[in-house]
Amino acid sequence: MLNVQNPDCLFCRIVRGEIPAKIIYKDEKCVAFYDIDPQAPIHFLVIPKVHISSCGEINGANSLVVSHCFEVITKVTKELGITDFRVVSNCGPQAGQSVPHLHFHVLAGRDMTWPPG
């Protein structure tokens, strides 16, 4: 299950090292890398290595990797010295998802509004 990859998926290609990325952290289950088009002074993504198309596809068989992504968010933010940050996962095009591989945006370093636009 955890080795399932999608050959044409952009983020699966980053996992396989076929596309370069500014990787902050990686382990056997997930990768964290800086967003190519940052929306805040600090903006990185945490993704599972396994291809899950969105947070609308999380289930009992794959949710351990999702909790692991959140452990990594805590670890990386602490290492970067960030105490205030926002975690976002866009699900579906109407919500702004452009890459169909589950990812968690982590944004920090500026004031943020609520509700989001």
| Interacting span for ligand AMP (CB under 6 A) from 67-75, 77-85, 96-104, 109-117 | 96-104
CA 32 centroid distance within chain: 7
CA 69 centroid distance within chain: 8
Whether residue 103 lies in the annotated active site: yes
Binding partner of residue 54 among ligand AMP, Zn ion, none, CB under 5 to 8 Å per kind?
none
Measure the CA–CA gap between 51 and 103, rounded to whole angstroms. 10
Touching Zn ion, residues 7-36 (CB under 5 A): 9, 11-12
Report DSSP letters for 73-101, one per residue.
HHHHHHHHT--S-EEE---SGGGT--SSS
The residue among 87 and 99 lying less far from ligand AMP, judged by its C-beta, is: 99
Contacting residues toward Zn ion, per CB under 5 A: 6, 9, 11-12, 51, 101
